[in-house]
Amino acid sequence: MPDSYTLVRALSACSQLRDLGAGDWIHKYVVDIGMGRNGFVNTSLVDMYAKCGSMEKARALFEEMPEKDIVTWGAIIQGYAANGLPKEALEIFQRMQKQSLRPDCYVIVGVLSACARLGALQLGESASSMMDRNEFLSNPVMGTALVDMYAKCGKMVVAWEVFTDMKEKDIIIFNAVISGLAMTGHVKAAFSCFGLVQKCGLKPDGNTFLGLLCGCTHAGLVDDGRCYFYAMSHLYCLDPTIEHYGSMVDLLARAGLLDEAHRTILSMPMKANAIVWGALLGGCRLHRDTQLAEHVLKQLIELEPWNSGNYVLLSNIYSANQKWDESENIRSLMNKKGIQKVRGYSWIEIDGVVHEFLVGDTAHPMSENIYAKLMELTKELRAAGYVPTTEFVLFDIEEEEKEHFLGCHSEKLALAFGLISTKSNVVIRIVKNLRVCGDCHTAFKLISKITCREIIVRDTNRFHHFMDGSCSCRDYW
């Protein structure tokens, strides 16, 4: 008869292999032998389900447990954070706080990861203050989580300060800093940090080069990107993965080198996935190459038959080329399969509370004030020469692009709420789950000048730092 230690080790093996079937079988066995109330085993089960991506089962078991120690709380919080459910992770953390439990390093790493995803700077700083600063500086895992949180919330200067104070620096924390610098537009600093990696005698890994290529993409540095991609295999003996090829395709495509980007895909030693083809599509979007886009979208629909955006874009391209029957067939196919568009969401943190908005949202308690502020901003924008982008935009796939929604995109609602809820010297930070549209980007530049406010928006592509009428991306995203 196995004891609790044996069961925990077996469940740990399931977690490492992501073997949910074996984990389920062990769970049933635990119940059958009467060990279903063993906290040690149940915590391991929660951890196993979380690491296998089955958060519903992890949560159900967590709620059934009569007693939960800090390890149990850490397992569920880390699980939600790792599975892309940051709001749920923070909700559990807040419940834990009400029970006066002091977080350990695993809890804090999960919370910081969730805050990084949501751009919840105040919550992240509040959580990190619960631990002694030296614990972050002496523990590489905690230090990396803190650096990553500050970087993804747009506070790269603070992230760099934490990094420089770290007592031990491994390649993982270097990667976090390089990625943060690249993402926030400090590309030359990212290159310098790569020099520090070599100076410290550390061997760069695939993630190091992924960060460097990301920086090259955001800045349009094609030659630098080619050099790093070449050095990866020829100088550091690292085989480029599909992610590296995707970054290279993205770099070339954004720079308008669509043929070279397409050739790169065809020369890959592995089959291109949706991310790689999507990178080429991004270039087609930017440079309005509808012919190549049609070919790319056919590949994407084959790879991602559930992704609504691909169908919509292909339908739009057919319409633009007056292929009305093909366009209608695509729309009918979407309806037949029940495929719906992804809705645009934006988040903003005010006084430690994360507020969520979607296009045309009226659910917020302050909706009346928010829309009043939007009306005020619209008048000021028009006076400054702003004209909404109301014409048909071929490559914009979000439902938000319709004319009657232009004024109430989710990021505009979040911005209006931020303007009426914060003092004039407070930086407004917004996170969006989709790409910021061209109309909002133009409007935000003007709003930053009109209101004399600093606005930071993180979308799926990069950071946009709006100040005094301009954006850090230089309209290249």
- The percentage of residues in the chain with a pLDDT greater than 70, rounded to a whole number, is 94
pLDDT value, residue 398: 46
- 272's tokens: 């291109």
Contact 281, 297 (CB under 8 A): yes
pLDDT of residue 392: 35
Task: Share the mean pLDDT of the chain.
Answer: 88
Per-residue pLDDT band for 341 (boundaries 50, 70, 90) equals: low
The C-alpha atoms of residue 137 and residue 161 are separated, in whole angstroms, by 11
Q: Which band of pLDDT confidence, cut at 50, 70 and 90, is reported for residue 382?
A: confident
In a domain, 465, yes or no: yes
Is 354 a member of any domain?
Answer: yes
The pLDDT assigned to 264 comes to 96
Tell me how many domains the chain contains.
1
Tens of pLDDT, residue by residue over 460-474, are: 777 888 999 988 877
Higher-confidence residue of 218 and 60: namely 60
Q: What is the pLDDT of residues 271-288, one digit of tens each?
A: 999 889 988 987 887 787
pLDDT in tens, 72-101: 999 999 999 999 999 999 999 999 999 989
Is the CB of residue 194 less than 8 Å from the CB of residue 204?
Answer: yes
What would the pLDDT profile of 213-252 be if each residue is shown by its tens digit? 999 998 889 999 999 999 999 999 999 999 999 999 999 9
Q: What's the confidence (pLDDT) of residue 400? A: 42
155, 118, 113, 213: which is closest to 465 by C-alpha? Answer: 155
**pLDDT: is 108 or 396 the higher one?**
108
Q: Could you tell me if residue 451 is inside a domain?
A: yes
pLDDT tens-place string over residues 124-178: 999 999 999 899 999 999 999 999 999 999 899 999 999 999 998 999 999 999 9
| Residue 85 maps to a domain | no
pLDDT at 20 over 60: yes
Question: How high is the pLDDT of residue 439?
Answer: 79
Look at residue 175 in the predicted model and tell me its pLDDT: 96
Q: Tell me the residue range of the domain where 368 lies.
A: 345-471
Question: Does residue 357 fall inside a structural domain?
Answer: yes
Is residue 461 included in any domain, yes or no?
yes
Q: pTM for this structure?
A: 0.80
334-338, 411-415, 429-433: the lowest-pLDDT one: 334-338
What's residue 360's pLDDT? 80
Residue 8 lies in a domain: no
- pLDDT recorded at residue 266: 95
Residue 396 placed within a domain = yes
- Higher confidence at residue 186 or residue 319? 186
Mean pLDDT within 441-465: 89
The confidence band for 418, taking pLDDT boundaries of 50, 70 and 90, is very high
The pLDDT tens digits for 387-409 are: 766 433 444 444 444 434 555 78
Looking at residue 28, its pLDDT comes to 95
